Amino acid sequence: MEAAGAFDLLWLADANLFAIVRLSLGITLAATFFAALLGMPLGAFAALVRFRGREALIVVLNAFMGLPPVVVGLCVFLLLSRSGPLGQLGLLFTPTAMVVAQTVLISPIVAALARQVIEDLWAEYCDEFNAMRVGPVARVAALLWDARFSLVTILLAGFGRAAAEVGAVIIVGGNIEGFTRVMTTTIALETSKGNLTLAVSLGVVLIALIMTINALAWSIRRWSEKHAG
Amino acid sequence: MRDDVASIGVMRDRPSDLPIRFEAVDYRAASFAILSGVTFDIGPGAPTLLLGPNGSGKTTLLKLGMELLTPSGGRLTFAGRQASAGSGTAIVLQKPAMMRRSVAANISFALAAARRPAYPNVVAHLLDQVGLAGFEHRPARRLSGGEQQRLALARALARDPEVLFLDEPTASLDPAGTKGVEDIIVRIAHAGVKIVMATHDLGQARRLGGDVVFLVAGRVIEQAPAPDFFASPSTDEARRFLAGDLVI
């Protein structure tokens, strides 16, 4: 019964449902973008530069890949709450706060995986680049370009993790209807209320989204193997 | 090669790096001596073959000549200078890494690294030199072993080198692949590029050798013109090596 109603909502392009989906995608895309801005250079830095504390940074990045979302939500909440250091910005319970939380959550994933990919590629290219006298800027640019398919896959993994996350965004977003209510928080709320129709329809969208991301990642991998070797 | 490249207007003037002189050169990794008191010259002319068993220090010598390593002791000079003239040397490693790009993009990258314009006609010319014309758009990593070695040669030639170091470039190739690479090496040498090649393949040393530098356990045991070395080696180690005995 709920399943039929859920597919009706999807089939009839329910405005409320699609507003939630749009907001979810917007927040997650923004978080993925900022995580790429932070995580990729950090990963490249950790991969290519030898400095005191590098090993510790790598351990921390790897450990933070498994950050509990509720803990991230709590930290961002404390940071943005009225009495917190960034309370004056008035960002708590806004989509911006949710972007911040998701960025914090997936940046370590992007950084840690990018570090591994770039370091592996560097181990392969190191002697050739030294022999060709490739300068430091050109080295980094070449490594990022040649690792582009793997890096895009990493971003898709980060996007998937952020899209499916509920703990952090419900704490910092507040799950306000029409403002900060996203797919995962709506599913949690509507399920607790017994309104399974909307919850199931959003679940279908979420699963379709995750499947699409994985299909995209797989396609990129296949394409890169065929065309870039 | 140098004339060919000059004909398309991309050759640069620079001082010669020859002779490359090793004077009592030592190289140690941690406390382990890889090379000890190595003294010999690399002058212009026919290919110089570094011959010796595995672990004799051939690759280390090539990397020192390429300035990828710094001697632990002794003196290494390039036409009397402490350093080479920049892009005058190039190397093909034993297992060259293929960049995750097309064949043409690999060449373009090498040209850019050598601060030379990567015009399509220059790329095409370099690929033609190594028998890879028509391979421009293929992914480099999907080439066969022999084709990858030839692409590595083209990348090295992109530096327009005066001296080309080759580290066992045919070690993993079948006879046909070996012949293809050797033919290219002969053509490059005839075009005036000094070839310095490490090998433990006696047949190859006979086919290509101008001078032979015979190494065992990080020491130069014998240096002689190839015909003299093969006809009448002057040391017991060389005689045993040529006889097929295990020399360690």
- Enumerate the residues of chain B whose CB falls inside 8 A of the CB of residue A229: 98, 100-101, 139-142
pLDDT digits (tens, 9 = 90+) for B90-111: 999 999 999 999 999 999 999 9
- Give me the interface pTM, i.e. the ipTM: 0.84
Q: Which of B195, B212, B199, B167 is nearest to B20 (CA)?
A: B195
Residue B223's SS3 state is strand
Quick check: B5 pLDDT over 50? Answer: no
DSSP state of B193: P
For every residue of chain A, which 3-state class applies, written as one string?
Answer: CHHHHHHHHHHCCCHHHHHHHHHHHHHHHHHHHHHHHHHHHHHHHHHHCCCCCHHHHHHHHHHHCCCCHHHHHHHHHHHHCCCCCCHHHCCCCCHHHHHHHHHHHHHHHHHHHHHHHHHHHHHHHHHHHHHCCCCHHHHHHHHHHHCHHHHHHHHHHHHHHHHCCCHHHHHHHCCCCCCCCCHHHHHHHHHHHCCHHHHHHHHHHHHHHHHHHHHHHHHHHHHHHHHCC
Amino acid symbol at A136:
P
The minimum CA-CA distance between B68 and chain A, rounded to whole Å, is 7
Q: Which residue of B has its CA nearest to A148?
A: B100
| Matching residue, tokens 């295990």 | B246
Q: Could you give the 3-state DSSP secondary structure of residue B199?
A: strand
Average pLDDT, chain A: 92
Q: How far is CA A19 from CA A6, A26, A177, A182, B145, in A?
A: 16, 10, 10, 9, 55
Which of B89, B56, B105 minimizes the C-alpha distance to B214?
Answer: B56
The mean pLDDT of A51-55, rounded to a whole number, is 94
Region A17-28: mean pLDDT is 94
pLDDT band at B63 (very low <50, low <70, confident <90, very high): very high
pLDDT at B87 over 90: no
- Residue B24: count of CB within 10 angstroms of its CB: 12
Question: If pLDDT is split at 50, 70 and 90, which confidence band does A168 have?
Answer: very high
* Residue-level pLDDT at A139: 92
pLDDT category at A72 given cuts 50, 70, 90 is very high
Closest CA to B179 of B192, B169, B189, B191: B169
Instruction: Please give the Cα distance from B90 to B194 (Å, whole number).
Output: 10
**Chain B interface disruption, residue of A125, A127, A144, most B CBs within 10 A:** A127
**How far is A179 from chain B, CA to nearest CA, in Å?**
45
Residue B2 is predicted with a pLDDT of 45
Interface of A with B (CB under 8 A): 124-125, 127-135, 138, 142, 146-147, 224, 226-229
Q: How far apart are CA B7 and CA B1, in angstroms?
A: 10
A90-139: pLDDT as tens digits: 999 999 999 999 999 999 999 999 999 999 999 999 999 999 999 888 99
Cβ-proximal residues to A171 (8 Å cutoff; 6+ apart), any chain: A70, A73, A74, A76, A77, A101
The beta-carbon neighbor of B139 closest among A127, A132, A228 is A228
Distance CA A178, CA B3 (A): 73
Lowest mean pLDDT among B79-83, B205-209, B244-248: B244-248
Contacts A130 to B, Cβ<8 Å: 68
Question: Do the bridges between strand B194-199 and strand B48-51 make them parallel or antiparallel, or are there none, so unpaired?
Answer: parallel
Asked if the model's pLDDT at residue A222 lies above 90, the reply is no
At residue A220, the pLDDT reads 86
Please report residues of A whose CB lies closer than 8 A to that of B96: 128
In B, which residues are within 8 Å of A131 by CB distance? 66, 68, 90-91, 93
Length of chain A: 229
Residue B159, SS3 per DSSP: coil
Tokens of A219: 């396609």
Which of B87, B98, B100 best probes binding to A when mutated, by most A CB atoms within 10 angstroms?
Answer: B100
| HSE-up (13 A, CA, CB side) for residue A37 | 8
What is the model's pLDDT at position A165? 92
Taking contacts as CB-CB distances below 8 angstroms, the residues of chain A near B142 are 229
Q: Provide the 8-state DSSP code for B57.
A: S
pLDDT beyond 70 at B9: no
* pLDDT above 60: residue A2: yes
Indicate the burial class of B246 (C-beta count within 10 angstroms; 0-12, 13-18, 19 or more): exposed
Q: For residue B83, which amino acid is it?
A: A
Quote the mean pLDDT of chain B. 89
| Tens digits of residue pLDDT in B151-194 | 999 999 999 999 999 999 998 888 888 999 999 999 999 999 99
Sequence-ordered list of residues with C-beta below 8 angstroms from that of A219, at least 6 positions apart, any chain: none
In angstroms, the separation between the Cα of residue B155 and the nearest Cα of chain A is 9
Q: Which tokens belong to B211?
A: 């001078």
Mean local confidence (pLDDT), B198-202: 89
SS3 B235: coil
Pair of tokens at residue A63: 């450990």
* Tokens of residue B164, six digits: 């080309």
Distance CA A164, CA A25 (A): 11
**Which element (helix H / strand E) includes B141?**
none
Cα dihedral sign for A144, A150, A156, A158?
A: negative
- Give the residue on B whose Cα is nearest the Cα of A141: B109
- Residue of A128, A134, A147 lying closest to B97 (CB–CB): A128
- Tell me the C-alpha distance between B242 and A101, whole Å: 70
Query: What is the pTM for the complete model shown?
Result: 0.82
Average pLDDT over residues A69-81: 96
Between chains, do B97 and A227 touch, taking CB under 8 Å as contact?
A: no
pLDDT of residue A163: 93
CB-CB: which of A127, A224, A226 is closest to B93? A127
Of B97, B101, B112, the CB nearest to A228: B101
Q: State the burial class of residue B90 (Cβ atoms within 10 Å of its Cβ: 0-12, 13-18, 19+).
A: buried
Which of B93, B100, B101 minimises the CB distance to A131? Answer: B93
Q: What is the pLDDT of residues B117-151, one digit of tens each?
A: 999 999 999 999 999 999 999 999 999 999 999 99
Mutate which: A120, A132, A223, vs B, most B CBs within 10 A = A132
